[in-house]
Structures are given as C-alpha cells and as structure tokens.
Amino acid sequence: MIKIEHLSKSFGRHQVLNNIDLTVTKGEVVVILGPSGSGKTTLLRCVNYLEKPGDGEISIGDFRLNCKHARKKEIHQLRQKTAMVFQQYNLFRHKTALENVMEGLLVVKKLPKEEARNRSIALLEKVGLGAKLDAYPSQLSGGQQQRVGIARALALEPEVILFDEPTSALDPELVGEVLAVIRKIAKEGITMIVVTHEMGFARDVANHVVFMDGGVIVEEGTPAEVFNHPREERTKQFLKRITPELNYSI
C-alpha cells in the first residue's frame, strides 16, 4: 500500500501542492485528472523525489519517508520502490532498447548480465518489441519508445509505476498501442498512478479517480462516481470542458 500524507510543495512563493493526502492500495490503478498547472506532474515527481517536497510523508509498505528530513539512502530506497514513465519517454539515447531495459537491472539491482538480458528480452516481448531489441531510440517511433520506457519501468519490479501523461506526446495513431500495453499490465495487478487526459482509458482501467485543481485534491472516487456523478462544481466544469459530448448538469 502506498500512502501519501499531507504532502506540500512550493516553487519559491508559489505553492503548487497543498496538503495532499492519497492512499493507493496494492494492485490498484489510480488516475489523476486535472487542468493544466494543477500540480499533477509535480505530485508524481515528488513521489519519487525528483522534486523535493516541502513537507509530508510517503510510505510504501513498511518503508516510510519523512520528506523534509529524507536522507540520501532513504531517497535511494524510495526510488527503487517506484518507477516513472515520462511524457517525453526520456530513454537513454546512446543505448539500445535492450540496453535501456537492462541498465537498471545491471547497475541498480546488480543482476548478472545473462539474467538481466533474459529478463529484459522477456519484458520487451511483452510490450511487443521483441523485434526491436537492438534499435536505438532514434530509430524507434514515439509509441515504440514509450513502450520501451514502460518495459524499463517494469524491469525494476517497483511497488508502483508512475505515469505522467504517457501518451500526450504521441501522434494520435500511436496512442492506442501504448494504452493497450498499459491496460495489459494493469490487468496483471501492477500498482500504478497515471496522469492522463485519455478519459476513455480512465473510465475503463481506473479503480480510483482523483481530480486535482490548484494544488489540492478536489474530489476522488470510483470512475462511476467521479465521471457520472461529480459532486464538486470544479470537477463538473472540467469534465464538461474536456468531454463536451457528455452533458453534465451544472
């Protein structure tokens, strides 16, 4: 179980996250929605300490981290328990697809080369890239690069995978293949927190939907609750703007 408690973050005087509480149970898919600038990316980045939170606590299983007084070793542990899939893929450009996936296994998990290789090949096959093992990122399409990114995240066997708008940098025709892979691993019971604007995906796959605005969680619940019966005005307005075909009574 992952627990985020009273997490806050400011950039200078601009408070971007304000007292966020969020609990994610094992195997759950949490989708975070919210308008641009609401702090979704910042929240994910705080969860694996790419951004230093101003205050708050993060616990994953028995592991507990006080964000304010985190030591190097604890940050390192936190990062091993989480993995991130980036909007811009952020693959290591000088490494092949296979090497990208193997890197963490070799360097962080210190697996023997043969084992790392076999596991990475299996993962790349799982995301449908068994034929692209030796391709460099520059030789892959955006959708393929993102699937390598997902395989790289899976390789570390993290407690939770954080997805930050994994499909929003993709050409529309490539979105489907990436969402299909995320769906597939969601079914396998991998815990994930996904920031996305893909409402269809959110409805189908999410167990829990969180709506953020202005650095706070405005509303959360099951997809049915949030999509069909939003309680808060801000949620209704947001949903209306992003899915105008559905008529929310405001």
Partner 1 sequence: MGAPFDISYVFSFLPKLLTTLGTTLLIVACSLLSGVLVGFLIALPRLYKVPVLKTCAEIYISFFRGTPILIQLFLFYYGLPEILKLVSVDVTRTPVLFFVILTYGLHTGAFMSEMIRASVTAVDRGQVEAAYATGMTSFQAFSRIVLPQALGIAIPVFSNLVIALLKDTSLAFTLGVMEMTGKAQTLGSISQHFIETYIALALIYLVISFTIEKLLLVAERRLLRHEERSSPAKRMFRLQKNGSYRRIIAELGPGKGGGGL
Ligand X SMILES: Nc1ncnc2c1ncn2[C@@H]1O[C@H](COP(=O)(O)OP(=O)(O)OP(=O)(O)O)[C@@H](O)[C@H]1O
- Contacts of residue 11, defined as CB under 8 A and 6 or more positions apart, other chains included, come to none
What CA–CA distance (Å, rounded) separates 21 from 27? Answer: 19
Instruction: Provide the token pair at 11.
Output: 């950039």
Q: Which two tokens stand for residue 13?
A: 């005087």
Give 146-149 contacts, CB < 8 A, sequence gap 24+.
146/85, 146/89, 146/170, 146/178, 147/177, 147/178, 147/181, 148/89, 148/91, 148/97, 148/100, 148/101, 148/124, 149/85, 149/86, 149/89, 149/90, 149/91
Q: Is 39 in the site for ligand X (CB under 6 A)?
A: yes
What does 113 bind: Mg ion, ligand X, partner 1, none (CB cut-off 5 to 8 Å by kind)?
none
Strand (E) or helix (H) holding 57: strand 55-60
37 vs 189 by CB, closer to ligand X = 37
Does the protein bind ligand X through residue 34 (CB under 6 A)?
yes
- With both helix axes pointing from N to C terminus, report the angle between 142-155 and 113-126 in degrees, rounded to the nearest 10: 130
Question: Does 83 engage in binding with partner 1 (CB under 8 A)?
Answer: yes
Chosen from partner 1, Mg ion, ligand X, none, partner binding at 42 (C-beta under 5 to 8 Å by type): ligand X
Residues 6 or more apart in contact with residue 75 via CB below 8 angstroms:
49, 65
**Residue 11 binding: pick among ligand X, Mg ion, partner 1, none (C-beta 5-8 Å cut-off by kind):** ligand X
Interface with partner 1 includes 79 (CB under 8 A)? yes
Contacting Mg ion (CB under 5 A), which of 8, 38, 41, 82? 41
Of 49 and 163, nearer to Mg ion (C-beta) is: 163
Region near Mg ion per CB under 5 A, out of 41-49, 129-137, 179-187, 235-243: 41-49
From 30-38, 117-125, 133-141, 177-185, give the range in contact with ligand X by CB under 6 A.
30-38
| Structure-token pair, residue 186 | 């969601």
Window of 33-41, 78-86, 168-176, 177-185 that interacts with partner 1 by CB under 8 A: 78-86
In angstroms, the CA 247 to CA 53 distance is 38
User: Which range of residues in 33-41, 47-55, 141-149, 238-246 is near Mg ion by CB under 5 A?
Assistant: 33-41
Q: Which is nearer to Mg ion, 41 or 167 (CB)?
A: 41
Report the residue from 36, 138, 247, 249 that binds partner 1 according to the rule CB under 8 A: 138
* Smaller CB separation from partner 1, 63 or 136: 136
User: Residue 87 class from Cβ within 10 Å (0-12 exposed, 13-18 middle, 19+ buried)?
Assistant: middle
Residue type, position 99, single letter: E
By the criterion CB under 8 A, which residues form the site for partner 1? 48, 50, 76, 79-80, 82-84, 86, 88, 90-96, 103-104, 107-108, 136-139, 152, 156
